[in-house]
Chain A
Amino acid sequence: AQSVAQPEDQVNVAEGNPLTVKCTYSVSGNPYLFWYVQYPNRGLQFLLKYITGDNLVKGSYGFEAEFNKSQTSFHLKKPSALVSDSALYFCAVLGANDYKLSFGAGTTVTVRA
């Protein structure tokens, strides 16, 4: 069975500082990995995905994530956080032969001015 762990319930950073949201996964075979962001009272919005190829994936709003197969991680990063990045972030994994995305519990990011 596939699963995702987001070890931090909350991440707090100052505006302008780097932001990292951690994610580790467990899946049989090659993983497809995703990050979604949820703003208050909104649905989940796709940020970026890793399917194959370059381990560093760039996505929307200046976010990027690095796939590390040996550590089974897919951490989300942004070099300089904005107050508007404050939201709930979900990591998700899909097995190569599966249809069902498995989501982590989510990490609440708060960026203070």
Chain B
Amino acid sequence: DAGVIQSPRHEVTEMGQEVTLRCKPISGHNSLFWYRQTMMRGLELLIYFNNNVPIDDSGMPEDRFSAKMPNASFSTLKIQPSEPRDSAVYFCASSFQGQNYGYTFGSGTRLTVV
């Protein structure tokens, strides 16, 4: 298994532009998480999907952020419009709920909004 795959690895965009981050979870995992990591706030859970359904989006900072999971093998996190304060590393993680094995993380997308 290739693990959790995120793309792109790095993204530099101008303020106001739309940004789309992508994630392919591990096959067979039924839970998917999007995290944001910054120096100031550490790791923040943005949204959690179970069986492709958003269960908890309380961590999504504002309406500019949206996430979808159209099927079990793909999820996107979109920021529109982007702002400099959105600059961070965004991680996707997946797990199989019920096994309590913890999460497998992707390598992250480093987003820079200028």
Contacts and interface: CB of A to CB of B under 8 A. Distances in A.
Interface of A: 32, 34, 36, 41-46, 49, 51, 90, 92, 94, 96, 99-101, 103, 105-106
B42 interface: yes
- Residue from B91, B105, B107, B110 with most neighbouring chain A CB atoms (10 Å): B105
Contacts, number: 45
B35 to A, nearest CB: 9
Interface residues of B, number: 22
A100 B48 contact: yes
B52 interface: no
A99 B97 contact: yes
B15 interface: no
Contact of B56 (A44, A96, A100, A105): A100
